[in-house]
Amino acid sequence: MNVTEPVQTSAAGTFPPYPWVWLTVTALVVALDWYSKQWVSTALELYRPQEVFSWLNITLAHNYGAAFSFLSSAGGWQRWFFSVLAMVVTVVLVVWLRQLDRANRWTAISLSLIIGGAVGNLIDRLLFGHVIDFIDLYYGQWHWPAFNVADSAITVGVVLMLLDVFRGQKTEDSN
């Protein structure tokens, strides 16, 4: 009679069971981004702020460039450049996500958020030729450049990834 030992799995190694679980997070980011942009596009006039709080406006804006309106007045070629760049980055990140060990949850959630944000803004570029922004944070007369849900997901994803890297370095240094 053969006696087999039970397979030992750690709690970290059992979730998520498949990379598609993380792609669900990506899909949620894309959906939230899309619906928020559609709502703002139908509810507001372009560049007419609506105050929400003393530090937050909802302002429909069209960004023809990249972050902080970089290259926004470049003549139109930037639409295709940033679209192709977003597609390449998305493919690279999806491949990375699929190859992750199940224990790398923080990296997986980071990649999922970044992918969702990249796809959300890519959809805008392909359909409209610009990215729809609407979140306008400010203090006094100083306004942060308007952004959207996709931009927020990318930012949170990058911050989580950096925190994970620093956390990993700290535990390696303590060994």
Enzyme catalytic residues: 133, 151
Place of tokens 């996709």: 150
Three-state secondary-structure class, residue 105: helix
- Which amino acid is residue 81, in one-letter code? F
Strand 142-143 relative to strand 50-53, pairing: unpaired
Angle, to 10 degrees, between the axis of helix 19-43 and the axis of helix 105-128?
40
Q: Which residues are CB-contacts of 35 (< 8 A; sequence separation ≥ 6)? A: none
- The radius of gyration of the chain from alpha carbons, rounded to an integer in Å, stands at 20
Place of tokens 């240094």: 173
Cα–Cα distance, 60 to 45 (Å, whole number): 7
Cα–Cα distance, 58 to 158 (Å, whole number): 24
